[in-house]
Every structure is written in C-alpha cells, then in structure tokens.
Amino acid sequence: MARRKLVYEGKAKILYEGPEPGTLVQYFKDDATAGNGEKKDVIDGKGVLNNRLSEFFMTGLAGVGVPTHFIKRLNMREQLIRQVEIIPLEVIVRNVAAGSMSKRLGIEEGTPLPRPIIEFCYKDDKLGDPLVAEEHIIAFGWASQQDLDDIVALALRVNDFMSGCMMAVGIKLVDFKIEIGRVWDNDFQRLILADEISPDSCRLWDIETGKKLDKDVFRRDLGSLADAYTEVARRLGVLPANSGPVTRPTLIN
Ligand code: 5GP
C-alpha cells in the first residue's frame, strides 16, 4: 500500500501531501503542549473537536468574504487545505488584557481594552516566539508594509466575526492567534488565513461566570480540557446539546 508523504509535523497537527498539487491534508492530533513544549499531555478527543471547530470558523469566515486555506473536512481528524507559504508570524488580536500582555505590562487580566490590539510574534520555537515590532518584520523581510496592512485588515475582520459568533453563545472572545499564508493565483499574490482557529489558539471566557473554555484550562491546570472544548462545540451547535461522554465526541455532520 502506498504511504502518503509527511510534509511537516508540529506540536498539535501533522501536514501530509494532498491528493492534488497545491493541496495538503491537515491532521489534528490529540497532543496538548504548553510553555513551548515543557508541559505535555494527550487529551482524548481534542483533535476531533479542533478539526470540527476549525472547519466551523473557517467556513463561517469564508461566508463573510475572508479568504482561508480550508477546502473541506475529510474525516474526523483531517481536513483538505490549500498549500500556502506561511508568513513566519503569529498574529495576535486582543480585546481584553490576559496572558502574556497582562504579565508584560502589569495590566490585570480581564481589563477590557479600549480598542482591539494587534501584536506580532516571530514564529521560532527555539526563541519562544518573541514579540516583534513592524520595524523588525519589514527590516528582516518577513512581510512587506503592504502585507502588514492586509494582515491587520484581515485580523480585524476575523476578530469581528469571531467576537459575534462567540457573543451569540454567551462567550467572550478575549484574544486569539492566527497565522497567515501567501498563495499565488497566476501572477497575483494574495494573503489568506491559514493554520487553524480553535480553542487551542483563542481565549474564551463564559460571559456570565468568567469560566475559561480554552487551552488555559490545560496551561493552568483548571480541569478537563476536553469538557471545556466540548462545551464550546455544543454551544455553537457543532455537537448535539445532549451528546454523551466528552472523550468520544458525537459530531453533527
Ligand atoms: P499570549 O501571548 O497571551 O500567551 O497568547 C495570546 C493568544 O494567542 C492566546 O489566545 C493564545 O492561545 C494564543 N497563542 C499565542 N501563542 C500561541 C501558540 O504558540 N500556539 C497557539 N495554539 N496559540 C497561541
């Protein structure tokens, strides 16, 4: 039997060669890591939930005109995506102070920000994904000024869509991280949303209780990560409201 070619293995996902040139298969693992790989565990069902949630957000974003790499979900753990040249930046959008920004600037977690704040980190595990300025990005050629203008516009559109989606189900979108890819359509280059959008890469707080429903549950040992992600999926209608045990999620097709 022919074996498919592994293109890249990251901490939470694997990329395989796709069935056609310019496509890849993105496989969602159950592995959870935090602190740049220092804390590790396997969370039964996480990959299945993130595959389905990322499909849900990417499809919704495409519906409002945001270009994404997502083509279609193939099965419980895999989706077909467009191959892109990843821009080596983590683009973070914050609506409420939390995490590294709270630590860095001494702003109490939960403080609402006067406007969405966009930060860029240079994607490099060995360096711990350091925060960088637009000056670094342009000087080192990671992206042009035009790219940055397009990335900011795209990130704010993602924020508007995701905030609304979450607000509708009683969840506050505190912050999130996205990655952007470059694609060529004939002679024209475009930037599109890549990687994933899931509770692994967002901070999601219940509006009423403040309960965390994202990867901070794992990072800070606050309980069951699978339960938190299942709760998000249920509220968004990705899982039936009365589905059974969280370790074996029942997905709605
Ligand atoms: P912070 O900079 O406060 O640690 O993270 C800000 C937001 O970006 C959080 O929602 C966090 O989950 C996300 N984020 C930052 N770095 C990473 C990363 O390397 N991987 C993932 N999945 N999310 C990240």
Q: What is the pLDDT of residue 40?
A: 96
CB 243 within 8 A of CB 249: yes
What does R_g of the chain's alpha carbons equal in angstroms? 18
Nearest CA to ligand 1 atom 12: 201
Ligand 1: atom nearest CA of 200 is 22
pLDDT over threshold 60, residue 253: no
pLDDT by residue (tens digit) across 48-88? 999 999 999 999 999 999 999 999 999 999 999 999 999 99
Distance 176 CA to ligand 1 centre (A): 6
What percentage of the chain reaches a pLDDT higher than 70?
Answer: 94
97 by DSSP, 3-state: which? coil
pTM more than 0.85: yes
pLDDT by residue (tens digit) across 5-60? 999 999 999 999 999 999 999 999 999 999 888 999 999 999 999 999 999 999 99
Distance 129 CA to ligand 1 centre (A): 10
The verdict on the CB of residue 215 being under 6 Å from ligand 1 is yes
Ligand 1: atom nearest CA of 119 is 2
pLDDT band, very low/low/confident/very high, at 4 (cuts 50, 70, 90) = confident
197 by DSSP, 3-state: which? coil
Ligand 1: atom nearest CA of 12 is 22
pLDDT by residue (tens digit) across 179-204? 999 999 889 999 999 999 999 999 99
Ligand 1: atom nearest CA of 198 is 22
Cα separation of 164 and 173, whole Å? Answer: 9
Of 31, 38, 89, 177, the one to substitute when testing ligand 1's pocket (max ligand atoms within 8 A of C-beta) is 177
Task: List the beta bridge partners of residue 132.
Answer: 120
Nearest CA to ligand 1 atom 21: 201
- At 148, give phi and psi (nearest 5°): -65, -40
Q: What is the pLDDT of residue 245?
A: 46
Most confident of 35-49, 101-115, 234-248: 101-115
The verdict on the CB of residue 48 being under 6 Å from ligand 1 is no
Amino acid at 141: G
pLDDT by residue (tens digit) across 163-182? 999 999 999 999 999 999 99
Q: Across the chain, what does the average pLDDT equal?
A: 95
CB 10 within 8 A of CB 28: no
Nearest CA to ligand 1 atom 24: 201
Distance 231 CA to ligand 1 centre (A): 20
- Our measurement of the distance from residue 115's CA atom to the centroid of its chain's CA atoms, rounded to an integer in Å, reads 21
Residue of 153 and 245 predicted with greater confidence: 153
pLDDT band, very low/low/confident/very high, at 1 (cuts 50, 70, 90) = low
Task: List the beta bridge partners of residue 17.
Answer: 24
